[in-house]
């Protein structure tokens, strides 16, 4: 059924990766005269490991997968861009997305002159399964993006539906799990890498891990797909300082766990308070660190909050009447709620 060699772009299949100095020799040595670096020792005068092997060894046991099933990107946005560029031929192939969803999929496609087919989510923000199953069989439907928990709606997509899509898709199915750490009931699709040869799972350290500035995203996939991403990525895509910060942060899983628990508790606090407000029409169920809320007057509410220095995301053009509110600290959340109560009449 799924044949990777037919899905990847033919030119990408044929090409060889740029062979950097650090990829030609990576053993132990004392004199490095291979990369035109400044030899005077400063902390950052050497190029970083192009394949970030130490980090992958740290991540593999955390995620219970093999190091060769991990690609590390400059944010998961880089992985999204590489998936589109590596698999879709401009003006011939297309990606599939289910709106409302994360905006980067369609921007990455637009840059490459690749069409976006959109099969909107149903009213309860789930896949329109019959339509999606039909579409993903098309040989030119190269990459299907399913975001779960979905941004901006906040809910998880039914896992059984995603599995059905994986079983019939002729191309890649990318499950974007940027917010999986906030979903208490959901298991990562990274558990299914050995079952589905066309599965790619995206995760990031930008949300739950609190490292958005470091730019560190991961794609988990069967190793033949990872090999393709490695072949087309910029040679040194993860800066040395970032690799160092990540290696330290990954050792402190306990801290992240307490922060996640606190964000989940704060989320419930905001949801309860929002439900008391007259201007609120719907508070959608959320498995993420943000809340989608439908208001009678989203733009006025946005402006009133902004006037008090509180910035939320106006998604009313994407989901009718809706603002998206990230969960903050207790103090920030109290300021938000107080500001909303003050204008609620
Ligand atoms: C924030 C976000 C990302 C991007 O994460 P980076 O790793 O910071 O690039 C990817 N997907 C979704 C759905 C997001 O909301």
Q: Give the bridge partners for 226, in sequence order.
A: none
What is residue 23's predicted lDDT score, i.e. its pLDDT? 83
Query: Tokens standing for 164?
Result: 């059905």
For residue range 307-328, list pLDDT tens digits in order: 999 999 999 999 999 999 999 9
Query: Tokens standing for 296?
Result: 């009678």
From ligand 1's centre to the CA of 187, what distance in Å?
18
Among 78, 107, 155, 217, name the best residue to mutate to test ligand 1's pocket (greatest count of ligand atoms within 8 A of Cβ): 217
What is residue 27's predicted lDDT score, i.e. its pLDDT? 83
CB of 242 within 6 A of ligand 1: the answer is no
Quick one: which atom of ligand 1 is closest to the CA of 217?
A: 7
Secondary structure, 3-state, 188-245: CHHHHCCCCCCEEEEEECCCCCCCHHHCCEEEECCHHHHHHHHHHCCCCCCCHHHHHH
Closest CA to ligand 1's atom 1: 178
Eight-state DSSP code of residue 269: H
Residue 318, exposed/middle/buried by CB under 10 A (0-12, 13-18, 19+)? middle
For residue range 103-146, list pLDDT tens digits in order: 999 999 999 999 999 999 999 999 999 999 999 999 999 999 99
What is residue 129's predicted lDDT score, i.e. its pLDDT? 98
What is residue 31's predicted lDDT score, i.e. its pLDDT? 93
pLDDT, the chain, mean: 96
Calculate mean pLDDT across residues 150-157: 98
Kind and range of the H or E element at 71?
strand 70-73
Calculate mean pLDDT across residues 220-233: 98
Q: Give the bridge partners for 199, in sequence order.
A: 173
What is residue 168's predicted lDDT score, i.e. its pLDDT? 97
Q: What is the pTM of this model?
A: 0.97
> By percentage, how much of the chain surpasses pLDDT 90?
95
CB of 333 within 6 A of ligand 1: the answer is no
CB of 147 within 6 A of ligand 1: the answer is yes
């Amino acid at each position: 059924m799924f044949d990777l060699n037919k899905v990847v772009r033919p030119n990408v299949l044929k090409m060889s990766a740029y062979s950097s100095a650090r990829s030609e020799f990576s053993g132990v040595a004392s004199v490095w005269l291979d990369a035109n670096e400044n030899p005077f020792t400063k902390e950052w005068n050497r190029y970083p490991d192009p394949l970030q092997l130490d980090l992958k060894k740290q991540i593999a046991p955390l995620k219970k997968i093999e190091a060769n099933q991990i690609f590390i990107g400059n944010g998961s946005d880089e992985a999204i861009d590489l998936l589109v560029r590596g698999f879709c031929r401009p003006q011939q192939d297309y990606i599939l997305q289910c709106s409302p969803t994360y905006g980067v999929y369609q921007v990455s496609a637009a840059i490459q002159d690749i069409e976006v087919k959109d099969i909107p989510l149903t009213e309860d923000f789930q896949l329109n399964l019959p339509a999606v199953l039909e579409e993903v069989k098309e040989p030119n439907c190269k990459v299907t993006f399913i975001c779960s928990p979905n941004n901006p709606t906040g809910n998880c997509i039914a896992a059984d539906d995603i599995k059905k899509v994986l079983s019939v898709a002729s191309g890649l199915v990318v499950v974007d799990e940027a917010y999986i750490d906030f979903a208490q009931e959901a298991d990562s699709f990274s558990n299914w890498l050995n079952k589905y040869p066309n599965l790619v799972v995206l995760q990031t350290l930008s949300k739950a891990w609190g490292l958005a500035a470091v730019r560190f995203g991961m794609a988990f996939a069967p190793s033949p797909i990872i090999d393709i991403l490695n072949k087309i990525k910029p040679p040194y895509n993860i800066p040395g300082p970032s690799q160092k910060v990540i290696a330290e942060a990954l050792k402190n899983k306990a801290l992240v766990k307490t922060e996640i628990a606190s964000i989940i508790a704060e989320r419930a606090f905001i949801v309860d308070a929002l439900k008391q407000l007259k201007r609120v029409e719907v508070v959608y169920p959320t498995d993420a660190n943000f809340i989608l809320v439908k208001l009678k007057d989203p733009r006025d509410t946005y402006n009133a909050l902004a006037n008090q220095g509180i910035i939320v995301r106006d998604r009313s053009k994407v989901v009718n009447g809706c603002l998206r509110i990230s969960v903050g600290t207790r103090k920030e959340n109290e300021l938000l709620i107080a500001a909303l109560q003050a204008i609620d009449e």
